[in-house]
């Protein structure tokens, strides 16, 4: 008698692509701390606008090389020649507005540093209560909001400080991706582990 097949693990979106599976299981929703990694995620969310996230994932290493691993101090010094160089780089998304926004975002991050602040503290200051995400986890993708009061407030503050391509929807996608909120589905195979990581991350200075 043939043994019944093992049920497929529940993930937040259907995919058979190994890169996307690894991103879901190992990265999406896991807390991200630190200036370069957070600036990278913020800028890549902007580049993703109008495209699939898988497209961005496949180009991520090219983005890192093109933008000096998203070191804010180095990218802040990019000029028009760098914009033209990047517009000729087929390894990234060649969109002038998004390239210029990334440079502006690096400059805004550097300005935070000059003022004695950090992008890390700014982004994480808009996190909802640590127990709130666990209380009402989404059951389906349709249960996930496109934006929240927190993401709207975050977008407003980022724009005030000179960041670009950071509307409320993009800000919420950033919050989801970096563990500022936990939007893994209720039955997702990594939800519990992600929530534990988020709780631990909230204790960091």
Indicate which residues carry an active-site annotation.
23, 45, 53
| Token pair of 97 as six digits | 């507005």
Determine contact, residues 60/88, Cβ cutoff 8 Å. Answer: no
Centre a 10 Å sphere on the Cβ of residue 150 and count the other Cβ atoms it contains.
18
What residues have CB less than 8 Å from 175, skipping those under 6 apart? 123, 126, 127, 148, 150, 151, 154, 181
CB atoms within 10 A of CB 104: 18
What is the DSSP secondary structure assignment for residue 137, as one 8-state letter?
-
The CA distance from 189 to 180, in Å, is 19
Query: Tokens 């989801």 appear where?
Result: 176
Contact 173, 128 (CB under 8 A): no
Q: Which tokens belong to 12? A: 């937040």
Q: Are the CB atoms for 89 and 66 separated by under 8 Å?
A: yes
Torsion sign, CA atoms 22, 194, 142, 144: negative
């Amino acid at each position: 008698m043939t043994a019944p097949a093992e049920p497929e693990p529940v993930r937040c979106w259907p995919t058979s692509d190994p890169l996307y599976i690894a991103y879901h299981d190992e990265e999406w929703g896991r807390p991200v701390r630190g200036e370069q990694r957070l600036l990278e995620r913020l800028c890549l969310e902007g580049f993703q606008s109008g495209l699939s996230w898988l497209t961005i994932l496949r180009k991520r290493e090219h983005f890192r090389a093109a933008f000096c691993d998203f070191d804010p101090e180095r990218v802040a010094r990019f000029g028009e020649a760098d914009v033209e160089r990047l517009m000729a780089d087929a390894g990234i998304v060649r969109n002038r507005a998004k390239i210029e926004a990334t440079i502006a975002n690096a400059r805004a991050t550097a300005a935070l540093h000059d003022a004695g602040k950090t992008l890390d503290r700014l982004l994480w200051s808009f996190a909802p209560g640590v127990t709130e995400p666990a209380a009402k986890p989404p059951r389906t993708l349709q249960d996930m909001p496109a934006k929240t009061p927190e993401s709207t407030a975050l977008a407003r503050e980022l724009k005030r400080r000179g960041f670009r391509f950071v509307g409320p929807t993009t800000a919420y996608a950033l919050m989801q991706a970096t563990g500022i909120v936990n939007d893994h589905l209720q039955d997702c195979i990594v939800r519990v582990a992600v929530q534990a990581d988020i709780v631990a991350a909230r204790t960091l200075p």
